[in-house]
Structures are given as C-alpha cells and as structure tokens.
Chains A and B, each alone.
Chain A
C-alpha cells in the first residue's frame, strides 16, 4: 500500500504556539485517529516557544493510499467535531495550510491507481 501524508502547517499567533499544539493534540488528534489517520511526526519551528513572534507547527499524518484518504475525508464530513476544532483554533492562528503529499517513488502508483 502507498502512504499518503496529510500535512497541517499551522502558523500560531505570537505566544500561542504551545497552547495551539496542546489543543490540537487534545481536541483534534483523537478524532483524527478515529478517522484512520496515523500520526507520523510533529515539528515546531523555530524549535523554541516564542512569545513575541509566530511559531509554525507542522503536523504530519499518514493514511493508506487514495482509499485511506477518502475514508478519512468522508468520516470527517460526518464528524462535526473536525470542523468545530478549526473554528475554535482560528483565534490562535495567523494562517494555516493543509497539504497532501507522497514520496516521489509513490507518485506513479498513486496516479495509476
């Protein structure tokens, strides 16, 4: 099976980085796991909690191929807590992005099913 990464890039308001990550892990991660997402890694940039400048959090999840991705997507659509988290988190965010990626060696497999 081909791993697909779901990558959340969260730019926290100054001083909110640690609280944002704690909220993500407490309020978002359990539901994400229930939707089939497997936590791969969490990165904090720069690697210190800043109180006057934004930290960027990069949180990487794995799912199994397109089927795993759609399973996650449809489950999230049926789970109001997923979008509720993002609405609440907005107060701590400067911006965010969600990206989907895979290893280069898996691109052809993903494109050809």
Chain B
C-alpha cells in the first residue's frame, strides 16, 4: 500500500508545535529534531497515499513523496518513544536498473550490520514534489537519537560501503547530492505499530 511523507518547512517564527497539532489526520505529525539537513521543520507521515497538506501561509516549502515499499523489516515491532528518520533521495536519471537494484539491496542490508536500526523500510517514489524528483524514501526507526547519530553514522557498512552511491568522488556515484535528511521523535512506531 502506498505511503506519504511530507517534510514541511515553515516561515521563520511560525509555531511548529501548533502547526503539527492542527494537521489532524496523520500517522505522524511531529516537529523535527536538531541536526536535520534540508529536513524541514516538521514531518507529516501517512500510511496511505493521502497527499493533503493543510493550506497555510506559514508554509515556506514542502518536500514530499508518495511511495510504494520495496523492502523492509522489524527488529522491534511496536517500538515506543523512539526516533523516526526519513531520507528522501533522487537517483540520477539514466542510472541502469541493475545498478539501482544493487543500491537498493545494499541499502536494505544496513540493518543487518547496524543494530541500532530497529525497524526500516525502503520505498520507490511514485509521485514527488519539492527540491528534486525524489526516487526513493529510506525510513528507519531507532530506540533513541544516539542510535542514529552514533552507530548509524559510524558503522563502516555505512561510510565504507553504502555511501559510495552518494559520494561524487566515487565512480559508483548515482544519488543527487541534494538530500532531505530528517528525523523526529515518535510515541508509537510509524513503520511497525
């Protein structure tokens, strides 16, 4: 079933918490945590392809995607009070399908090597808007922010293996350098409630 995520950037001074409270029908509507990179001020996620975002003068920019999962898993279904992370990325047009599949396969193997990823899902985008024509959404859940900022970043499988798809210095580079790296706290698991 299709999913929808929007990373919403608000005008300076706008009340993020109030905006999130007023979104209403959503699986997740939470202000982002410090450290996001082009990740917006809040994350709106729905487990259905409902793209509706309230029209509001406080909105400055939206990066969003409707997407179909191609893989995922759960080490901790029902995780509570954790951190949800979402990466919107755009594979360069013309990348051979076999290469894209290898990239997807290696990305989906990250939880095998990085134990702090408790639940995860990789999806192909069917409808994108924002700074790029996003092609993939890579979502993970962590028990706490340390799992994302610590082992996820420091494990060699990330930087010495998967990152070459993202690195313009590597010949395998296929992912546009403009990414949306966003994360927020959640009470109930988004990926595996």
A residues with CB within 8 A of B: 4, 66-67, 69-70, 73, 76-77, 82-83, 86, 95-98, 100-102, 107, 110-111, 113
Contacts and interface: CB of A to CB of B under 8 A. Distances in A.
B170 A73 contact: no
B105 interface: no
Contacts of A95: 171
Contact of B171 (A76, A97, A100): A97
Contacts of B160: 4, 69, 100-101
A73 B167 contact: yes
Contacts of A101: 160
8 contacts: A66-B154, A67-B154, A73-B167, A76-B167, A76-B169, A82-B168, A82-B169, A102-B156
Nearest to B150: A113
B164 interface: yes
Chain A contact residues, majority secondary structure = helix
A23 B65 CA distance: 43
B39 to A, nearest CB: 16
B159 A69 contact: yes
B177 A73 contact: no
Contacts of B169: 76, 82-83, 86, 98
Given A100-B159, A100-B160, A66 B171 contact: no
Contacts of A100: 156, 159-160
Contacts of B151: 113
A39 B156 CA distance: 21
Contacts of A66: 153-156, 159
B177 A77 contact: yes
B163 interface: yes
A21 to B, nearest CB: 18
B96 to A, nearest CB: 17
Given A66-B159, A83-B168, A110-B156, 20 more contacts: A4-B160, A66-B154, A66-B155, A66-B156, A69-B160, A73-B159, A73-B163, A73-B167, A76-B167, A82-B169, A86-B169, A97-B171, A98-B167, A100-B156, A101-B160, A102-B156, A107-B156, A111-B156, A113-B151, A113-B154
Contacts of B177: 77
A69 B170 CA distance: 14
Contacts of B155: 66, 111, 113
Nearest to B171: A96
Q: Which of B164, B169, B171 has the most CB of A within 10 A?
A: B169
Contacts of A96: 171
A77 B168 contact: yes
Contacts of B156: 66, 100, 102, 107, 110-111
A70 B171 contact: no
A12 B160 CA distance: 24
Pick the 8 closest A-B CB pairs, nearest first.
A100-B160, A66-B154, A83-B168, A113-B154, A98-B170, A110-B156, A69-B159, A96-B171
